[in-house]
Structures are given as structure tokens and as C-alpha cells.
Amino acid sequence: YTEKYLNGDFTLIYATVKGAGHVAPEYKPKECYFMIDRFFAYFPL
């Protein structure tokens, strides 16, 4: 799930990994890896 907030020239992207709980990388490592990989490659989440 992602949500994008825009305010002038400031952008905030909120992303969650569904079903991962509090420590997402521990419970859903593959999903977290691909989310971070896409974020750093400037692809949409």
C-alpha cells in the first residue's frame, strides 16, 4: 500500500508491507527488498 502526499516542492511517500507486522524485514524480507530496490531506482512503489 502506498500513499503520496504533495505540498509545494515537498513530496512524502508512505509505503507499508501488508501482513508484515512491526518488523517487516523479518517477516516479509523479499517484499521489503523489492520495495527498497524500487524506491532507490526511482520506480513507482
Query: For position 29, what pLDDT does the model report?
Result: 96
Kindly state whether residue 45 falls inside one of the protein's structural domains.
no
The label of the residue with cell 518488523 reads 23
Tally of domains in the chain: 1
Kindly state whether residue 25 falls inside one of the protein's structural domains.
yes
pTM exceeds 0.85, yes or no: no
Query: For position 21, what pLDDT does the model report?
Result: 87
| Residue numbers of the domain that contains 31 | 2-40
Kindly state whether residue 17 falls inside one of the protein's structural domains.
yes
Element (H, E) at 2: strand 2-7
Kindly state whether residue 18 falls inside one of the protein's structural domains.
yes
pLDDT tens digits along 1-45? 888 898 888 888 899 999 998 999 999 999 999 999 999 999 988
User: How is 3-23 classified by DSSP, letter by letter?
Assistant: EEEEETTEEEEEE--TT--SS
Kindly state whether residue 32 falls inside one of the protein's structural domains.
yes
Query: For position 41, what pLDDT does the model report?
Result: 96
Query: For position 33, what pLDDT does the model report?
Result: 96
Query: For position 32, what pLDDT does the model report?
Result: 95
Kindly state whether residue 33 falls inside one of the protein's structural domains.
yes
Kindly state whether residue 14 falls inside one of the protein's structural domains.
yes
